[in-house]
C-alpha cells in the first residue's frame, strides 16, 4: 500500500477512505483510523498490535486479535490488496489489472491471459477495471472492482469467473452498439460471425477454423461498434463443451436478410447505446450488405472447410 493508492479524509475522530479511481467508500472509527494511518506511514503489520496496545491501554492479546480481525476484514472487503502477483493486460482498448493472491492462480490463468496484450511497468492511467482473486479457506473469491465477490469452490470455476469478469469489464467500457452471442473469425477477406444459441457448436466450429490458421476474433460475445460496422476483438481462450455440436442435415442454404437478422437477434443480441433513426438505418444497411447462411452438417471439419472459403479471397 502506498499513500498515492488511496484517498482519505478525516471525519471527526474517524476517517473516510477510498481507493483512488475506485467507487466505494470505507468509514473507519478512531481505532481503525489509528491502524490505517500507522500502516500508511510504513509501520510493519507485525508492529501494529503493540502500537495499538500502547496507544489505547489494552491488553496485548486483545490488540493482537483486533488488528488481525481488522486487517482480514479490509482485505476481504477489497480495501487492501491480498498480496500475490499483479498482472496488467490490454484487451479491446481496455486496461485491466488482475491481482492474484491465491496459490496456483497465475499458472491456471495462463491460457486465458496468453492472447491478451501485457502492459509493462506501472502506468498513471486508471485501469478500466480491477479483478481480484484470493483464497479463503477452501474456497476462491473473485471480485470485479468493488462489487460483492463471487465465491467459487474449484479452480476451474474460478478461471471461468475471471473470464466472465474480463468480458463484463470490456462490455461495460466499450462504446458498442450491438452485443451478439456469437463467435467470430477473420481472414484476409474479412470477418465471419458465427451467432447461435448456447450449445449449438460455435466454439467447436471456431476451434476448427483456428486450426486452419485463421485469426481468433471472439468466442462467445461479439461487440459491434457504432457507425461503420466494426467488430471489437475479444480473443479470450476458448471454452469447449463436451457434445456441443448438434448433428443436422448436410446443406448450406443462403438466408434472406430479414431471416438472418431474426436469427442473429435470437442468439441473443443486446443494444448498447440509445438507438436513433440513423443508427437503425446503419444496422439495417449492414445486415442487408452481409451475405448470411445457415450451416447444417454432421462434422465441424466440413463446416470449417466451407467457412474457410469465405475468408480466403
Q: What is the pLDDT of residue 52?
A: 94
**Greatest mean pLDDT range, 128-132, 143-147, 214-218, 241-245:** 214-218
Confidence of residue 59 (pLDDT cuts 50, 70, 90): very high
Has residue 174 got a pLDDT over 80?
Answer: no
Respond yes or no on whether the N-terminal peptide bond of residue 263 is cis (omega within 30° of 0).
no
Phi/psi at 64 (5° precision): -60, -45
Least confident of 99-113, 120-134, 158-172: 120-134
Nearest to 58 by CA among 96, 31, 29, 26: 31
Q: Note whether 140 and 158 are within 8 A (CB).
A: yes
Q: What is the pLDDT of residue 239?
A: 67
Has residue 3 got a pLDDT over 60?
Answer: no
In terms of pLDDT, which residue wins out, 253 or 48? 48
Mean pLDDT of 56-68: 90
Q: What is the pLDDT of residue 304?
A: 78
Q: What is the pLDDT of residue 258?
A: 55
Has residue 175 got a pLDDT over 70?
Answer: yes
Least confident of 24-28, 131-135, 230-234, 304-308: 304-308
Confidence of residue 253 (pLDDT cuts 50, 70, 90): very low
Confidence of residue 250 (pLDDT cuts 50, 70, 90): very low
Q: What is the pLDDT of residue 242?
A: 47
Confidence of residue 74 (pLDDT cuts 50, 70, 90): confident
Nearest to 86 by CA among 136, 116, 39, 122: 122
Distances (CA, A) of 282 to 68, 181, 276: 58, 20, 10
Q: What is the pTM of this model?
A: 0.55
Mean pLDDT of 237-264: 51
**pLDDT tens digits, 120-155:** 445 556 677 888 888 777 888 888 876 777 888 988
Q: What is the pLDDT of residue 53?
A: 94
Amino acid at each position: 500500500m502506498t499513500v498515492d493508492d488511496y484517498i482519505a479524509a478525516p471525519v471527526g475522530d474517524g476517517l473516510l477512505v477510498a481507493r483512488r479511481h475506485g467507487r466505494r467508500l470505507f468509514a473507519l472509527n478512531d481505532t481503525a483510523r489509528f491502524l490505517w494511518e500507522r500502516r500508511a506511514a510504513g509501520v510493519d503489520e507485525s508492529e501494529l498490535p503493540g502500537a495499538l496496545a500502547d496507544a489505547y491501554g489494552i491488553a496485548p492479546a486483545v490488540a493482537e486479535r483486533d488488528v488481525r480481525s481488522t486487517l482480514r476484514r479490509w482485505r476481504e472487503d477489497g480495501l487492501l490488496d491480498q498480496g500475490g502477483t499483479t498482472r496488467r493486460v490490454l484487451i479491446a482498448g481496455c486496461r485491466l489489472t488482475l491481482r492474484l493472491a491465491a496459490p496456483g492462480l497465475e499458472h491456471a490463468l495462463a491460457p486465458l491471459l496468453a492472447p491478451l496484450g501485457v502492459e509493462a511497468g506501472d502506468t498513471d492511467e486508471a485501469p478500466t477495471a480491477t479483478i481480484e482473486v484470493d483464497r479463503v479457506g477452501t474456497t476462491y473469491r473473485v471480485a470485479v472492482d468493488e462489487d460483492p465477490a463471487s465465491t467459487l469452490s474449484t479452480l476451474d470455476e474460478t478461471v471461468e469467473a475471471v473470464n466472465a469478469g474480463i468480458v463484463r469489464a470490456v462490455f461495460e467500457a466499450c462504446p458498442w452498439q450491438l452485443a451478439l452471442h456469437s463467435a467470430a473469425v477473420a481472414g484476409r477477406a474479412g470477418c465471419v460471425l458465427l451467432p447461435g444459441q448456447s450449445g449449438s457448436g460455435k466454439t467447436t466450429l471456431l476451434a476448427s477454423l483456428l486450426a486452419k490458421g485463421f485469426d481468433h476474433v471472439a468466442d462467445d460475445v461479439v461487440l459491434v461498434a457504432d457507425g461503420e460496422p466494426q467488430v471489437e476483438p475479444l480473443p479470450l481462450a476458448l471454452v469447449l463443451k463436451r457434445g456441443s455440436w448438434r448433428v443436422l442435415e448436410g446443406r448450406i442454404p443462403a438466408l434472406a436478410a430479414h431471416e438472418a437478422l431474426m436469427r442473429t437477434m435470437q442468439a441473443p443480441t443486446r443494444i448498447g447505446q440509445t438507438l436513433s433513426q440513423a443508427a437503425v438505418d446503419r444496422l439495417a444497411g449492414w445486415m442487408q450488405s452481409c451475405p448470411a447462411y445457415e450451416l447444417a452438417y454432421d462434422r465441424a471439419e466440413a463446416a470449417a472447410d466451407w467457412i474457410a472459403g469465405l475468408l480466403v479471397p
